[in-house]
Amino acid sequence: MWIVITKKNLYNLLIILLSVLVLLVLFQLVFDNFLSIGANSNTSGYIVIIIDDFGNHGDGTEEMLSLGIPITAAVMPFMPHSLADAEAAHKANLEVILHLAMEPNSGKKEWLGPRGVTCDLDSEDVKCIVEDALVDVKYAVGINNHMGSKATQDKRIMKAILEKAKDNDLFFVDSKTSPRSVASEIAEELGVPCFSRDVFLDGTKDVNHIKKQVLKLGDIALKKGHAIGIGHVGIEGGRATAEAIKSVYPYLIEKGIHFITVKELKKILEGEDAF
Ligand SMILES: [Zn+2]
């Protein structure tokens, strides 16, 4: 069958070609969208890793800053490197929180460092320490406790700290150095977002042990949807912890686990889209 090419036929042909082109573009858009939805629905859990004891420029500081994994840097105030470490962590796009020294049930007083929160302080003095610490640890979006097995059991002390957190729109992460901590109870009363540590990752320089702890964190994230792990720079982990996280990271990503910050977890739990 012969088709005579007339002006009208040519015009119709152009219309058809244009329609096909528009359909192809639409199909591409829908398909891309479908793929991205697919990626989100493949998320099988969220991991938050907090690294404590920044502020001393301790062992592993550089390694943690250059990990390229979204970790949360908990920086101790009133230390020679507090400001520098907070600046460096912020520059490396890490989340920064205040690592507040709090009185333990046992242990050496010098482990508490300068201006630690002890239970003999009056509430105004505690608030003053938190206020000054937040000036020292710039960019802090939350607070967690360094030690604190005694102070986190003290309702009055926790109230003073959490009231300051509320004033400054900060969240609190309970490192859970005591099973009898009242942090989440008081935080709920005051309406302060509060999270709890699930796994301590190190306390040793044994890379294999730390890897196992990070995998344990992954298991908890797969079971309950999210998990918070705490590691350290300095003598309790440092380079060994950075190495362990780096080596286990690809395996956990493969499992569909996302590494996020505390603030992102907060948004997810509140039902907002963090990404
Ligand atoms: Zn600490």
On whether both 68 and 197 belong to a single domain, the answer is yes
Q: What separation in Å is there between the alpha carbon of 2 and the centre of ligand 1?
A: 85
Q: What separation in Å is there between the alpha carbon of 146 and the centre of ligand 1?
A: 4
Give dist(CA 240, CA 147) in Å, integer: 21
Please count the other Cβ atoms lying within 10 Å of the Cβ belonging to residue 179: 7
Q: What separation in Å is there between the alpha carbon of 20 and the centre of ligand 1?
A: 62
On whether both 206 and 253 belong to a single domain, the answer is yes
Give dist(CA 39, CA 213) in Å, integer: 27
The pLDDT of residue 13 is 73
On whether both 124 and 11 belong to a single domain, the answer is no
On whether both 172 and 219 belong to a single domain, the answer is yes
Q: Does the structure show a pLDDT above 80 at 110?
A: no
Q: Does the structure show a pLDDT above 80 at 58?
A: yes
Q: What separation in Å is there between the alpha carbon of 218 and the centre of ligand 1?
A: 22
Q: What separation in Å is there between the alpha carbon of 33 and the centre of ligand 1?
A: 43
Among 8-17, 79-88, 143-152, 209-218, where is mean pLDDT lowest?
A: 8-17
Mean pLDDT of the chain: 90
- Our count of domains for the chain comes to 2
Q: What separation in Å is there between the alpha carbon of 166 and the centre of ligand 1?
A: 22
Q: What separation in Å is there between the alpha carbon of 249 and the centre of ligand 1?
A: 23
Write down how long the chain is: 275
On whether both 25 and 69 belong to a single domain, the answer is no
- CATH number, domain of 94, equals 3.20.20.370
Q: What separation in Å is there between the alpha carbon of 262 and the centre of ligand 1?
A: 17
On whether both 91 and 162 belong to a single domain, the answer is yes
Amino acid (one-letter) located at 160: A
Sole residue written with tokens 């000036």:
135
Ramachandran category for residue 246: left, alpha or beta (phi over 0 → left; psi -120 to 50 → alpha) = alpha
Q: Does the structure show a pLDDT above 50 at 86?
A: yes
Q: Which two tokens stand for residue 226?
A: 């999210």
Q: What separation in Å is there between the alpha carbon of 275 and the centre of ligand 1?
A: 30
More reliable by pLDDT, 19 or 28? 19
Q: Half-sphere exposure (CA, 13 Å, Cβ side) for 105?
A: 10
The pLDDT of residue 214 is 98
pLDDT bin (cut points 50, 70, 90) of residue 4 is low
3-class secondary structure per residue, the chain: CCCCCCHHHHHHHHHHHHHHHHHHHHHHHHHHHHHHHHHHHCCCEEEEEEEEEECCCCCCHHHHHCCCCCCEEEECCCCCCHHHHHHHHHHCCCEEEEEEEECCCCCCHHHHCCCCECCCCCHHHHHHHHHHHHHHCCCCCEEEEEECCCHHHCHHHHHHHHHHHHHCCCEEEECCCCCCCCHHHHHHHHCCCEEECCEECCCCCCHHHHHHHHHHHHHHHHHHCEEEEEEECCCCCCHHHHHHHHHHHHHHHHCCEEEECHHHHHHHHCCCCCC
On whether both 18 and 56 belong to a single domain, the answer is no
Q: What separation in Å is there between the alpha carbon of 34 and the centre of ligand 1?
A: 44
On whether both 138 and 185 belong to a single domain, the answer is yes
On whether both 92 and 180 belong to a single domain, the answer is yes
Residue ranges making up the domain that contains 77: 45-269
Q: Are 214 and 244 in contact (CB under 8 A)?
A: yes
On whether both 109 and 36 belong to a single domain, the answer is no
What is the pTM assigned to this prediction?
A: 0.83
Q: What separation in Å is there between the alpha carbon of 106 and the centre of ligand 1?
A: 15
Give dist(CA 112, CA 102) in Å, integer: 7
In a domain, 1, yes or no: no
On whether both 16 and 76 belong to a single domain, the answer is no
On whether both 82 and 218 belong to a single domain, the answer is yes
In a domain, 115, yes or no: yes
The pLDDT of residue 19 is 78
Q: Does the structure show a pLDDT above 70 at 36?
A: no
